[in-house]
Amino acid sequence: MNSKPFPQQISEYHGKVRDVYYIENQLLVMIASDRISAFDVILPRPIPFKGQVLNQIAAYMLQKTTDICPNWLLETPAPNVAIGKECTPFKIEMVVRGNLVGHAWRTYNAGGRTLCGVTLPNGLVENDFFPTPIITPSTKASEGHDEDISKEAIIEQGLASAEDWDILEKYAFALFQRGKEIAAKQGLILVDTKYEFGKIGDTIYLMDEIHTPDSSRYFYADGFEERQAKKEKQKQLSKEFVREWLIENNFMGKEGQTVPAMSDEWIETISKRYIELYEKVIGAPFKPEPKTNEATYDLICNAILKFKR
């Protein structure tokens, strides 16, 4: 992004995949970069159009859930940019799981039957549906790995009050149900996802992105039961294929491990997978909109000045 500060900018933060600029009087500019991370490590090469995909899916999904809870978003002035209200974030992520996959499956397969204080039923195999969705929260680490945490520990440590937890839980389950309904219309299963929330005064707001390939996992519904019966891998749309490639190349973000080289062909494959997910989830063709830093900067400035009037 342009090195010039934005109007009334007071600070900035550069995360693993997003750059956030704080504007006086509670405005945020969030730029979804083309950086990609896995196992809490930024991989060495950007993925073309990834930022646009994330930003536009998130904006679409936030608009589709305004009846469930208020959210932070005000406008998307550029393909990979969102401007919204600055909230005081809860330092937790609300991870909602409908199926036994990923971290939950790795825990389960190693013999664990409790995750974040939630008891997991016996007799499941990878990718099976849970009887009902579960919430397995994690702490929101500014650096390093997020950590699993239970509802009880969240309240005990003051990360959320009991009253706020009840609202967060209600919102998270309702958002997940809406996400599943949107996905089902497109022939997809929303498998798991994460939500982040914050407060302005006493009001809880949904923050950040929702139901994107960086925060969620989708299976194709067609053939799901047949693949489960045969114990075959599920066909999925998510970032998990990147994690699987890293694991195959002996990288899980642990000390002493080296990120494998990423070829041009592999970068193109990842980009196409992100675009495929956009088109499948949204149900419309993806329109790449490359913009120069200068053009994006001007669009952001104009939007800030509009909201500051």
Q: Alpha-carbon distance 270 to 245, whole Å?
A: 11
pLDDT at 250 over 90: yes
The whole-number average pLDDT for the span 153-164 is 97
The whole-number average pLDDT for the span 223-227 is 97
- Beta-carbon contacts of 140 under 8 Å, excluding residues fewer than 6 positions away, are 89, 90, 91, 92, 93, 146, 196
Token representation of residue 45? 């090469």
pLDDT at 197 over 70: yes
Q: What dihedral angle (degrees, nearest 10) is formed by the CA atoms of 147, 144, 197, 306?
A: 180
Q: Among positive and negative, which fits the CA dihedral 272, 39, 183, 62?
A: negative
* Tokens 């209600």 belong to residue: 170
Confidence band (pLDDT; 50, 70, 90) for 2? low
**What integer pLDDT is reported at residue 142 of this predicted model?**
60
SS3 199: strand
CA distances to 20, 100, 113, 121, 219 from 108, rounded to whole Å, are 36, 8, 6, 10, 20
In the DSSP assignment, the letter for residue 12 is: E
**What integer pLDDT is reported at residue 144 of this predicted model?**
56
Topology of domain 89-240, CATH: D-amino Acid Aminotransferase; Chain A, domain 1 (3.30.470)
Q: Alpha-carbon distance 55 to 30, whole Å?
A: 9
**What integer pLDDT is reported at residue 277 of this predicted model?**
87
In the DSSP assignment, the letter for residue 295 is: H
The whole-number average pLDDT for the span 2-16 is 88
pLDDT at 267 over 90: yes
